[in-house]
């Protein structure tokens, strides 16, 4: 019973640990959605385009769609804020912060292209690399969200 209460508190609480936990939950949702989008763009939509341009375009398009969905999920699930509040300024801060999700993976894929470009053509290796890249970024994004993006909304 005590374990269930601790887990419930982790999910529903407002502590930093609870919010960080929910960041990973939202990150998992975003990752599954993003992987689906990435897979569709990489192996179907942009299939006729040569690597590495195909991978760069895939990341840009998946990012653009995903960042909008991520904004609302982050407000509602991580910080328990209304999805109807916030405003344009907050959204722009969110987009700028999420450029980390675009720039870092593009840089890593650039390095992969230099070292082992075949990863970009193998579906399983491509998905595993994408999961690892984004998993390392999440705690950094959470700190920026809390201290910069949603700071004003959280203080109200």
pLDDT in tens, 78-96: 999 998 888 899 999 999 9
* Centroid of chain to Cα 63: 8
Cβ atoms of 57 and 49 within 8 Å: the answer is yes
What would the two tokens of residue 93 be? 């801060």
pLDDT in tens, 96-136: 988 887 788 889 889 988 999 888 888 899 888 888 887 78
């Amino acid at each position: 019973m005590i374990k269930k209460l601790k887990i419930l508190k982790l999910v529903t609480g407002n502590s930093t640990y609870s919010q960080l936990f929910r960041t990973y939950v939202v990150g998992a949702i975003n990752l599954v959605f993003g992987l689906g989008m990435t897979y569709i763009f990489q192996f179907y939509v942009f299939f006729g385009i040569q690597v590495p341009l195909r991978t760069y375009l895939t990341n840009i398009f998946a990012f653009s769609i995903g960042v909008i969905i991520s904004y609302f999920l982050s407000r509602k699930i991580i910080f328990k804020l209304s999805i109807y509040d916030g405003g344009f300024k907050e959204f722009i801060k969110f987009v700028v912060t999420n450029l980390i999700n675009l720039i870092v993976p593009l840089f890593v894929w650039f390095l992969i292209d230099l070292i082992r470009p075949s990863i970009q053509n193998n579906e399983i290796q491509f998905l595993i690399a994408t999961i690892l890249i984004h998993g390392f970024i999440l705690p950094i994004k959470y700190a920026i969200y809390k201290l910069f993006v949603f700071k004003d909304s959280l203080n109200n």
